[in-house]
Each structure stands twice: as C-alpha cells, then as structure tokens.
C-alpha cells in the first residue's frame, strides 16, 4: 500500500512515516502544496493524507486536484483546525475520513484500514486469534462455531488491539480510541483494565487468552 | 428610589413648603399692604384738602369759627381743621383714640400743620382702624385659592417636564444596562436627546461596551489561536513518544517513563482542546437547528460513561416523565453538557451512592435535574465552580477545572439556565432550565 503524506511540519511527517512503515505501508512525503502536486502527477497512491494548513496552498484545493489524478485513492484529511465545518467540507469534497490533530498513530492506521475495508471491499474474513476467530465487519467473536457475546466497547477494544497486534497500546491510546475526546483525562482510573478483565473473563470460559498480554506500566498487547 | 420618584417628591415637597411659609406670612403681609395703602390714601386726601383750601380760601371751611369738622355717617372717616398753637409743627400718621359723639373709636390719624394768613392751622384726617383691615380676610382667601391653583399647575408642569427631561436616562438604563447579555450588541444606536449630560453618558457607555467587546474578542481570539497553535507541537511530541514505545526500548523502566510523559502530554492536549471548544462555542461556531429528545440524549451519555458507575457501585435512576423535546439545540453540545455533568456526578459521588436524573417544570419551563449523593459543594464555592481552572477542592487530581466551564459556555450559548444547590454531606443538584415553555410532550 502506497501512502502520500502531505504535511508541512517535517518532524510530524517523519513520525507518521516511521510508524506507518512498521505497518508495512510505503510512504512518500510532500511538505507543501507544490511538492504534493508534483508527486501526485508522477505516482499513483492508495492513501493520500492531507494536512489542511499548508503554507503554499489550500488543502481543500489540493484534495480536489488530487482527486483528478488519483481518483481511486483513499483520502484522509488531517488538521489542527478541528472545526466542524472543515470536517463537513472535507467529507463533502470526497475525503474518506477526517482526523483532528493531535491524533494517535495507531488511530490513524486503524482509520486507514477501516477505509480500506469499506472502499476496497476486502472480503469478509475471519481473523484467527488464539483459539478464537474474529469477524471485524460483523463484529462477532467465535469459538469454533459458538458466538461469544462481547459488549460494544469490549469488542472495540479487542479489535483495536488485534489490528495493532504485537504492538503495545497504552491506556491513553486505547481510551481515546474508544471514548474519543469526551474523556476528561482520568487515565489513572481503571476503565480500560476493567474492560480487559471482562474480555478475559468471557473468553477464558472457552479457551486460554495468554495472547492478550498486560505490559506492566505501559498498557496491553496482543501477541501472535 | 428611582430618580423620577425622587424628583417628584422633591418638587412637590419644596413647593408645598414654600406655599406653607407664604400662607403663614399672608395675614402679616396683607396687614402691611393695607396699612401702607391707608397711609398713602390719607396723604392723598391731605393733598386734596390743601388744594381745596388754596382754591376756596380758609374761610370757606371755617366760616369765621376756630374749627371745622366733618364725619361720614358711620364715623369711619373724619376731617378736622382747627387753629393751632403758633409753635406747633406736626406731620405725622399714627393710630390713636378719638371720642366722637360719646363713642371712643380707634383711628389712624394724619396730623399736619400749616400756616395761612400768619395763623397756624392743624389738619387731621382720620380713618377707623377697622376699616383699614376690612378686606384682609377676603384678600387672604382669594390669594390662597389663586396660590393653590398656581402651585398645582406648576407641579403638573414640572412633573411633565422632568419626566420628559429624564426619559433619555431611563432609555439609557434600559437599553444599555438592563438585560445585557455578553457580548454586547454591535453598532448600538445613540439615544436621541439634546441634553448634553445624557448624550455624554450614553456615548461613554457605548464606547465602554465596545471596549469590553474588543477586549473580550481579543481574549477569545488569543485563546483560540494559542490552543490551536499548541496542537502541532503536541502532535509532534505525542507521535515521537508513540514511535519510541514501539521500538521496544530497554530497559522497561524507560517505557514507563515514556508512558508517564504521554500522560502529562495528554493533560496538555485535553486542556488545549477544552479551551478550543470553549472559544468555539463563544464564537458561535455551532449550529442551533437541531431537535433533541432528552431521554435518548441522556441514554447516549450513559452508554458512553455508564461503565464508570460500577467503580463506586453507584445506582443511576433516570426518570424523565415529560421528556419534552427541545428545538433549536445542538446535539453534540448538549451531549457534552450532560456528559460533563454526569461525569462529575460520578466523580464526586461516594461509594454506593446514587445519581438521579429527573425532569419537571420550573417556572413553567422544562427543566432537567442531575442530582448526586456525595460530599456536596460548600455554598461559598458554588459561585466559582463554573470559573475556568477552578477546582472545587473536594478531591485531588480531579479534572483540570474546565468541565464546568465548558458546561457554562454551552448553557449560555443554548440559552439554558443552570442553578446549583448543594447540601453538605448529602447531595448536589444541578438544575438545567430550558428557555422554551412548551408543556406539550
């Protein structure tokens, strides 16, 4: 999967690149409007991430231009503005998703994958997880043929960890994914821990869940 | 007391005082006038008599005798002329008694000596003192009536005039100071008046309000810009730390440090976001076109936050009897408002406590109450709980003092009225009153 990151803050662009590379994306960087237009004319990308606040042009204009040269790409708007109108305008102009800065990198990746599932119609597949199988689209967890009831939040948590398997996710990253921006910063409390405990309890009735690790002082990880 | 009332009282009072004084002085004044007038007429009569004597000669009156006297029929006036001692010189007017045909009467007498044909004569013209004062009562009464009518007229005129005069002041108070919602209206029209002082007052108020608006605008802009500008550096730091974490840094304790740092950064992020949200609400960047059903909204909030109830084993009771739909709302903002309130209701609750969410009509307007058990908020702190960065001091490390500031700005944007009551060691009640008074469910 080829990604073009259009972001004028170079450090930020590098960090995004670094993270996405580990998830096996091929990244290309553009630090301005002109550079982005050049790259778009030469290459075809699967994902185009556009920062709205570019120094030498408007992100929305770039989006419209890019849509012509790369009509099949998935578009994501990244902005520090975070205004509702920007979001609506961006989605109206054909962006597939919108992320307000600052965002967590696993969140970016999972949004990109969600677009991929939607846009590129990835066939339904059951992801194996230990002795369990998980259907991300239909949001089911199976043990053999038996369906296991997880609450909405529990499923969100499990699938998010699965999506980023072999990578530790902190409680902050997890709770922002699940509760968005509403949480007011009580990260010392054990909401995530409580949910994990529930997940383990529900799944352990069928089979062991040693793949769901607690990383002391950091967070959780699914190891495969 | 209102200025117009004060002026009315003062005008009426001062006039009545002056009239009272005048009425007290009136008998004396009229007596004075009558007495002076009598003296004046006595002198006139003397002139006439002297003229007559000059014309007709002394003998015409004396007819060879030593004296001459003439009375009116009721003896209220008399004229006497007689030869006087040669060295007598008189030109006086005084009150004195005279015996006239056995009656002793009080007279005002003009005595005047003059010389004719080498003889000294004394002329006396008298007027009874009763006749002097005969019109006093009638005059007094008449003066009194006229005075009362004049005073009444002048009070009415004064009142009408002062009312007109201070009307601009009332307008200034009503338009500029009454019902001021912040931020103030722009381009306020000056009030029409030709009284310089009011003009000056009005202009000063308008310019003050504009200054406040400007300062507020600047503060808002600054808040928005500053919190916005924080976002990119926060992004960079945050993403760097995330990448550090994925690099499996050794030793493990270093990872814990990174998580610690991320947590601190998260605080900064939350504060910036909250400030940005407040400034967006204050900049009216949210639509107010949505219809919201309270029950489903609160259920949404509870779905998001309900898991936290278990922590303290809190009972939640939602009882919205009327569930009155609210128009001209913003769903997301109202969600945030109730989220923050219910979040606080959990945060400041006690173990095994309760939260009750009920609705009722308060002053005819639909209201929702969020009540929680717990320590309560001291009465002295209630006025400050909506201030930015104010902690209620109930528990340590509880939020960053912006949750209720957000509630407040949402409430004022959506025209909701929030009142807080609290009983120490028992419960706290947040009452949210909507501005519609539609009772239909």
| Cis peptide preceding B251, ω within 30 of 0 | yes
Flag whether residue B256 sits within 8 Å of chain A, measured between CB atoms.
yes
Q: Which of B228, B259, B311, B339 to mutate to test the interface with A (most CBs of A within 10 A)?
A: B259
Nearest to B397 by CA among B267, B234, B276: B267
Q: Which residues pair with B264 in a beta bridge?
A: none
Rounded distance, CA B124 to CA A193, Å? 131
Cβ atoms < 10 Å from Cβ of B103: 8
Flag whether residue B263 sits within 8 Å of chain A, measured between CB atoms.
yes
Residues from chain B that touch A102, judged by Cβ atoms under 8 A, are 231, 234-235, 238-239, 269
Flag whether residue B261 sits within 8 Å of chain A, measured between CB atoms.
no
Q: What parts of chain B have a pLDDT lower than 70?
A: 179-183, 248-249, 390-400, 437-441
Contact yes or no for A102 and B238 at CB 8 A: yes
Taking only residues 131 to 160 of chain A, the set having a beta carbon closer than 8 angstroms to any beta carbon of chain B reads 153
> Shortest CB distance from A170 goes to which of B234, B262, B339?
B262
CATH 3.30.565.10 domain extents, chain B: 290-433
Long-range contacts of A205-213 (CB under 8 A, 24+ apart): A206/A131, A206/A132, A206/A143, A206/A146, A206/A148, A207/A130, A207/A131, A207/A132, A207/A143, A208/A130, A208/A131, A209/A130, A210/A130, A211/A129, A211/A130, A212/A161
CATH class belonging to A2-120:
alpha beta
Contact yes or no for B266 and A103 at CB 8 A: no
CA nearest to B397 within chain A? A186
pLDDT of residue B392: 53
pLDDT of residue A124: 63
As a whole-number percent, the residues of chain B with pLDDT over 70 amount to: 95
Q: Regarding the domain delimited by A127-222, which CATH topology (the fold level of the hierarchy) does it fall under?
A: Arc Repressor Mutant, subunit A (1.10.10)
Its sign, for the CA torsion A119, A122, A124, A126, is negative
Rounded distance, CA B236 to CA A17, Å? 12
pLDDT of residue B362: 81
Shortest distance, CA B192 to any CA of chain A (angstroms):
42
pLDDT of residue B441: 44
Taking only residues 70 to 89 of chain A, the set having a beta carbon closer than 8 angstroms to any beta carbon of chain B reads 80-85
Q: Regarding the domain delimited by B196-282, which CATH topology (the fold level of the hierarchy) does it fall under?
A: Helix Hairpins (1.10.287)
Residue corresponding to tokens 């550096």: B233
What is the token pair recorded at A199? 């997940």
What is the token pair recorded at B46? 């003397």
Within B26-174, strands assigned E span 67-71, 77-83, 91-100, 103-116, 119-128
Distances (CA, A) of B199 to A67, B116, B186, B188, B234: 61, 80, 18, 13, 52
For the stretch B408-426, pLDDT in tens is 999 999 999 999 999 988 9
Rounded distance, CA B427 to CA B376, Å? 5
Q: Which of A173, A175, A185, A195 to mutate to test the interface with B (most CBs of B within 10 A)?
A: A185
Rounded distance, CA B321 to CA B109, Å? 103
- DSSP letter assigned to residue B383: G
Rounded distance, CA B296 to CA B325, Å? 10
Rounded distance, CA B73 to CA B297, Å? 111
pLDDT of residue B213: 86
What is the token pair recorded at B157? 């005129």
Which residues, 6 or more positions from B58, have their beta carbon under 8 angstroms from its beta carbon? B116, B117, B121
Nearest to A161 by CA among A97, A109, A92, A102: A109
The answer to whether the beta carbons of residues A30 and A6 sit under 8 Å apart is yes
What is the token pair recorded at B393? 């001091």
Rounded distance, CA B382 to CA B421, Å? 8
Q: Regarding the domain delimited by B290-433, which CATH topology (the fold level of the hierarchy) does it fall under?
A: Heat Shock Protein 90 (3.30.565)
Flag whether residue B228 sits within 8 Å of chain A, measured between CB atoms.
yes
Q: Which residues pair with B358 in a beta bridge?
A: B319, B369
pLDDT of residue A94: 84
Rounded distance, CA B337 to CA B409, Å? 9
Query: In chain A, what are the domain boundaries?
Result: 2-120, 127-222
CATH 1.10.287 domain extents, chain B: 196-282
Residues from chain B that touch A85, judged by Cβ atoms under 8 A, are 285
Which residues, 6 or more positions from B419, have their beta carbon under 8 angstroms from its beta carbon? B430, B431, B433
Residues from chain B that touch A9, judged by Cβ atoms under 8 A, are 232, 235-236
Shortest distance, CA B255 to any CA of chain A (angstroms):
7
Flag whether residue B266 sits within 8 Å of chain A, measured between CB atoms.
yes
- Helix/strand/coil for B306: coil
Q: Which of B232, B247, B338 to mutate to test the interface with A (most CBs of A within 10 A)?
A: B232
Rounded distance, CA A126 to CA A134, Å? 5
For the stretch B142-194, pLDDT in tens is 888 898 899 899 989 988 998 888 888 888 888 888 766 666 777 778 888 88
Give the mean pLDDT per block of 10 residues along chain A (224 residues): 92 94 91 93 92 88 91 88 71 87 91 83 75 86 89 89 88 84 58 89 92 90 88
pLDDT of residue B368: 95
């Amino acid at each position: 999967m080829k990604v073009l990151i259009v972001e004028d803050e170079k450090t930020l662009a590098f960090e995004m690149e670094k993270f996405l590379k580990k998830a096996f994306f091929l990244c290309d960087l553009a630090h301005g409007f002109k550079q982005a237009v050049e790259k778009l004319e030469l290459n075809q990308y699967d994902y185009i991430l556009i920062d709205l606040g570019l120094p030498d042009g408007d992100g929305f204009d770039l989006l419209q231009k890019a849509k012509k040269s790369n009509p099949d790409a998935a578009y994501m708007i990244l902005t520090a503005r975070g205004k509702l109108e920007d979001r609506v305008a961006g989605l109206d102009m054909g962006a597939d998703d919108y992320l307000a800065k600052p965002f967590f990198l696993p969140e970016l990746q999972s949004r990109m994958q969600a677009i991929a599932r939607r846009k590129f119609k990835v066939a339904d597949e059951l992801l194996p997880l230990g002795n369990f199988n998980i259907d991300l689209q239909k949001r089911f967890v199976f043990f053999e043929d038996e369906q296991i009831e997880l609450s909405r939040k529990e499923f969100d948590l499990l699938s998010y960890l699965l999506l980023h398997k072999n990578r530790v996710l902190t409680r902050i990253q997890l709770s922002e994914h699940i509760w968005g921006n509403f949480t007011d910063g009580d990260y010392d409390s054990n909401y995530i821990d409580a949910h994990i405990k529930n997940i383990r309890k529900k799944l352990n009735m069928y089979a062991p869940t040693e793949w769901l690790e607690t990383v002391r002082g950091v967070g959780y990880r699914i190891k495969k | 007391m209102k200025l117009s009332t004060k002026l009315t009282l003062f005008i009426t009072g001062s006039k009545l005082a002056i009239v009272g004084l005048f009425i007290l002085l009136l008998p004396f004044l009229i007596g004075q006038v009558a007495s002076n007038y009598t003296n004046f007429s006595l002198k006139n009569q003397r002139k006439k008599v002297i003229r007559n004597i000059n014309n007709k000669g002394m003998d015409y009156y004396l007819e060879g005798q030593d004296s001459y006297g003439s009375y009116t029929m009721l003896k209220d006036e008399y004229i006497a002329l007689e030869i006087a001692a040669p060295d007598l010189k008189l030109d006086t007017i005084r009150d004195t008694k005279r015996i006239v045909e056995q009656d002793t009467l009080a007279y005002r007498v003009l005595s005047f000596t003059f010389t004719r044909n080498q003889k000294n004569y004394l002329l006396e013209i008298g007027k009874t003192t009763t006749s002097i004062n005969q019109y006093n009562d009638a005059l007094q009464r008449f003066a009194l009536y006229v005075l009362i009518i004049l005073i009444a007229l002048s009070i009415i005129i004064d009142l009408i005039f002062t009312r007109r005069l201070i009307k601009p002041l009332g307008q200034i108070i009503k338009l500029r100071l009454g019902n001021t919602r912040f931020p103030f209206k722009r381009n306020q029209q000056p009030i029409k008046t030709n009284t310089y002082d009011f003009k000056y007052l009005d202009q000063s108020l308008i310019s003050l309000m504009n200054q406040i608006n400007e300062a507020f605008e600047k503060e808002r802009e600054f808040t928005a810009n500053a919190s916005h500008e924080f976002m990119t550096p926060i992004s960079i730091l945050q993403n760097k730390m995330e990448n550090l974490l994925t690099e499996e840094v050794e030793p493990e304790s270093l990872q814990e440090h990174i998580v610690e740092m991320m947590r601190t950064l998260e605080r900064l992020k939350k504060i910036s976001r909250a400030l940005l949200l407040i400034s967006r609400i204050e900049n009216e960047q949210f639509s107010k076109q949505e219809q919201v059903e309270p029950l489903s909204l609160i259920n949404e909030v509870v779905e998001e936050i309900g898991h936290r109830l278990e922590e303290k084993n809190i009972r939640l009771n939602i009882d919205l009897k009327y569930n009155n739909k609210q128009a001209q709302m913003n769903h997301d903002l109202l969600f945030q408002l109730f989220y923050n309130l219910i979040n606080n209701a959990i945060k400041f609750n006690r173990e095994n406590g309760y939260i009750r969410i009920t609705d009722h009509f308060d002053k005819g307007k639909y209201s929702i109450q969020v009540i929680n058990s717990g320590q309560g908020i001291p009465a002295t702190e209630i006025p400050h709980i909506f201030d930015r960065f104010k902690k209620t001091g109930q528990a340590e490390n509880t939020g960053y003092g912006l949750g209720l500031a957000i509630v407040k700005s949402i409430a004022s944007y959506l025209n909701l009225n929030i009142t807080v009551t609290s009983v120490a060691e028992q419960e706290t009640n947040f009452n949210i009153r909507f501005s519609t008074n539609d009772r239909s469910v």
